[in-house]
Amino acid sequence: MSTAPPLCLTVAGSDSGGGAGIQADLKTMLALGVHGMSVVTAVTAQNSLGVRGVWELPAEAVTAQYRAVVDDIGVQAVKTGMLSSAVLVETVAALLADTRAPAVVDPVGVSKHGDALLAASALDAVRKELLPRATVATPNLDEVAQLTGVVVETEDDMRRAADAILGHGPRWALIKGGHLAAHGHEAVDLLSDGTEERWLRAPRHDNRHTHGTGCTLASAIAAGLARGLTVPEAVTAAKEYVTGAIAAGFALGGGIGPVDHAWQWR
């Protein structure tokens, strides 16, 4: 009888189109050799063109799923994604406080199509309750601006953004500079814990099929942490995985297609 692989849990919304959310998280975890488990926070009706509807689950359903998994199976890393309301943010923050495993918090604010996925009233809960529980927080530049007011246009701004996010309590901040216009040919991210700083640079692929990038990156980091990597090791490996997945992203439907979670096998 073989032993179970490392255990990784995603707490996020479902994406019916299969490119982002829980579906992207579980595909990423499988691709990276860990056993993925899930707590669904919301059901979305979405496709390559956008989000048509969101149905949030009650806090008790989220708590019950989380406890069912953690109390019986256990967990070696947790990743959080779409938590659309203050109540869900507070619920998940309380669950994380009671869990010893490292947590990767992706403070999802808007979808690739510009659809708001987080109520304004929830931002305060993200700052005060959720970010302090994070081993790594992975905001993109829009989410940095939403959470801290720091508008990033240069690499120096990314340092200021990291410090502002770290001020809310996560151990590490990964500022995702993928939307930084100044770097036409490069996708630049900054990982910082306030003393150690790592710049992660990758070629920018001219591929518009990037649905699920943020979910995939955060899940890949969580998978690395579940496997026992340090935060810098997990983030570096995750960036490599995501860069390959973006390069292999494919068209789906009439809009933005997904990154290819299985690119290493094809």
Our answer to whether residue 138 is catalytic in this structure is: no
Q: Is the dihedral of CA 237, 240, 246, 247 positive or negative?
A: negative
Strand partners for 15: 44
Our answer to whether residue 236 is catalytic in this structure is: no
Count of beta carbons in the 10 Å neighbourhood of residue 95: 21
Our answer to whether residue 210 is catalytic in this structure is: yes
Helix axes 231-247, 213-226, angle to 10 degrees: 140
Which of 44, 135, 210, 243 is an active site residue? 210
Which of 215, 216, 243, 257 is an active site residue? 215
Amino acid residing at 116: A
User: Could you tell me which of 222, 249, 253, 12 has the C-alpha nearest to residue 117?
Assistant: 12
User: Could you tell me which of 126, 129, 132 has the C-alpha nearest to residue 169?
Assistant: 132
Our answer to whether residue 176 is catalytic in this structure is: yes
Which of 19, 21, 177, 212 is an active site residue? 212
Which of 177, 214, 224, 249 is an active site residue? 214
Our answer to whether residue 255 is catalytic in this structure is: no
Which of 10, 135, 148, 213 is an active site residue? 213
Which of 176, 177, 178, 224 is an active site residue? 176
Residue 166: what are its φ and ψ, rounded to 5°?
Answer: -60, -30
29 Cβ contact partners less than 8 Å away, ≥ 6 residues apart: 8, 10, 35, 36, 219, 222, 223
Q: Are 11 and 66 in contact (CB under 8 A)?
A: yes
Our answer to whether residue 10 is catalytic in this structure is: no
Q: How many residues does the chain have?
A: 266
Q: Are 175 and 158 in contact (CB under 8 A)?
A: yes
- Across 128-223, where does the E strand assignment appear? 136-137, 172-176, 186-192, 197-203
Catalytic residues: 176, 210, 212-215
